[in-house]
Amino acid sequence: MKHLLSAAAAATLLAPAAHAVEIEVAYAYSSLFDPTFARIMQAFETAHPEIEVRFRATYENYEDATNTILREAVAGTVPDVSFQALNRQRILVDRGIAQPLDPFIAEETGFETEGYHQAMLDLSRFDGHIYGLPFSVSTPIGFYNMDMLRAAGIDEVPATWPEVIAACKAVKAAGHEAIYWHWDISGNWMLQTEMWSQGVPTIKDGKLNMDTPEGLRALETAQAIFRDCEMKNTGGGDASKAFAAGELGMFFSSTAYVSFVDRSKLGDWEFVTAPYPGQDGAPKALPAGGNAAMMTSASDDPEVRAAAWEFIKFTTSGEGAAAVALTTGYVPPNQKANDLLMADFYAKNPNKMTAVAQLPLLSEWFAYPGDNGLAVTQVIHDGLEAILVGDATDMEELRDEMVEEVNALLPR
């Protein structure tokens, strides 16, 4: 359990308004979202002085978010609003922790005109009911230090993985750290990206769909990145800092890191983002990353639940969603925010436009079904780590082991 509140949380611990209704909110990734919530709270406190928002210590990542709230549900200490990964919503619905938002939406006048378009609402729709409002949506993209690439003789951004591998070898030969592929990002997202980029889902008919040529190629791509490019065994956070410091040629991760690089960039070198590489051409699909605001309140007080709804609605509105784009690299899921930003903001911030251009490719970020979903995530994580550290060298053998172990954990 983390004991320090984030900067955004501390900023909101102000003297409450008279007769204020208090709600508790929790979210993940303080380094990404603290600036976002600080900006949102400036406007929310003005619009709703009757609501006091207390932020809990931030979740370390999305797995931590899910594990924490599952424990809190047993103890009856859940927050009123929890921001959960899109692929982890289902387990909170199945456990009865997440509350349907349909009754609140039904009371809203003109909700359908406030930018909540159907495709985004469907990301949080289960059994015909809406359990969350998407807060941020991401796609995987490529981050490039063009000065470093040009010094290695690479004049154009590589568009396919064979081109990336060739580029990383050239950058290494020039004496620089070449690449980081964010393999351990939450929910096996990058491996799912490699599957979807070939047009193949990671889960099919309730089973791990990697006993296929595409599954083998996904693992072989990871092996080429780790071995042929001599990728360092470090975390994504450290890799993003190294990239921002101008010490890394290519970084493949969530578009969420764009604003971090912009804020932290050291030196006068050209920072460019580009679409995620495909195998033989452009990707055929990409998994939708990001999170949704969910009502997880255990309170029976209608005022508390109404206040929680107001916070969920505000953070996902045009104004709240615009704050997401302004402070991160995420794509606002609210169409009003995108319409507002499109004319000027993206023209001035082309590195954030890359993810927007990839929206037509968005597909499901799979949540592994059943009570062992988090365990499945760990099995796949361990398989990738075995490649990284050199414990696994035969990708066909590793693939078969992963398929057998994962399918034994999935519901029959």
Q: Where is the domain boundary, 360, 377, 399?
A: 360
Do 222 and 146 have their domain in common? yes
Do 378 and 251 have their domain in common? yes
What percent of the chain is helix, strand and coil (3-state, nearest 5)?
50, 15, 35
The string of pLDDT tens digits covering residues 135-192 is: 998 999 999 999 999 999 999 999 999 999 999 999 999 999 999 999 999 999 999 9
pLDDT confidence of residue 11: 46
* 350 lies in some domain: yes
For residues 218 and 224, what is the distance between their CA atoms, to the nearest angstrom? 10
**What strands lie across the sheet with 248-254, from one edge to the other?**
177-181, 248-254, 140-145, 271-275
Do 254 and 309 have their domain in common? no
Do 244 and 278 have their domain in common? yes
Do 83 and 155 have their domain in common? no
* 1 lies in some domain: no
**Token couple for 47:** 């619009």
For residues 210 and 87, what is the distance between their CA atoms, to the nearest angstrom? 19
Do 54 and 132 have their domain in common? yes
- Give the number of domains in the chain: 2
The boundaries of the domain holding residue 147 are 140-287+368-409
Task: Assign 368 to helix, strand or coil.
Answer: coil
Q: Which helix (H) or strand (E) holds 262?
A: helix 258-264
Mean pLDDT, residues 117-143 = 89
Does the pLDDT at position 345 exceed 90? no
Do 148 and 195 have their domain in common? yes
* Poorest-pLDDT segment among 54-58, 63-67, 119-123, 295-299: 119-123
The pLDDT-based confidence of 244 (bands split at 50, 70, 90) is: very high
Comparison of pLDDT for 169 and 362, the residue scoring more: 169
Do 381 and 234 have their domain in common? yes
Query: Apex CA 395: angle with CA 390 and CA 401, to 5°?
Result: 100
Mean pLDDT, residues 290-317 = 95
Do 232 and 313 have their domain in common? no
* 2 lies in some domain: no
Do 377 and 399 have their domain in common? yes
* 249 lies in some domain: yes
